[in-house]
Amino acid sequence: MCEWRQASVHRKILKELKKEYPVLFSHLLENEKIVFLLMKQEPVKEPPPEMMSRMEKIEILLNKAGYRIRFESMNKIDPQLLIKELELSYTKVVDIYLTCRNNPRAVNVHEFRKEAKDFLYQLYFFKPLNIPVVKALEKKLDVMTQNLGRVNDYSQLIKALGYKYPGKTNIPAMDELIIRIREKQDRYFAKVWPTAYKIFCPGQKLVNILGFKLLII
């Protein structure tokens, strides 16, 4: 299903770029990869029986896991253990944030987004301890990870276009298109970094960010 989504995202982004830069795209009419990605794909055929069987098993497992979590008594869980595990997740995000900030390669950005989303989902269990602060933090993380997702979408498009620099067969129009794509990424990064710094800057304590003391738990 990942490939289906990627094809749809590539097409949507290219259509947006084509609308914004029509003159530029008039010089890329013979680019086979762009033509292919802009082409509306055929309706997806029904998955083969083996895949359908695996999907059904996955659905059953997810429903069972969701049921168990739903009726799990939080009162029986050691609060010290909970906060310790959340701190481990937070430390992991801080580490990948530093890696990404010093070397914003596509793979690092993608990993930063994944770890930040994991941390975001775990925060849900701590919301009752300080609803306004945790809720505000969740909102900031959600917006940040969405912007990182857009950066990743553009990176995947560049990859799909097979662009590399320097390249022997690159034409000026393709170089310009990639620059335009990089500009889009820069704008999303400009929204990401200030938020990421406030939340994941090294030296901060998680309990201070969450707005409660460990003794309260």
Domain count for the chain, please give it. Answer: 1
Inter-helix orientation angle 2-20/131-160, to 10°: 80
Of 101, 137, 107, give the one whose Cα is nearest residue 122: 137
pLDDT tens for each residue of 116-173: 999 999 988 888 878 899 999 999 999 999 999 999 999 999 999 999 888 777 899 9
Range of the domain at 122: 2-216
Model confidence at 53, in pLDDT bands (50, 70, 90)?
Answer: confident
Contact 134, 126 (CB under 8 A): yes
Who's near 86: CB < 8 A, 6+ residues apart?
119, 122, 123, 126, 206
pTM of the model: 0.82
More confident residue, 88 or 124: 88
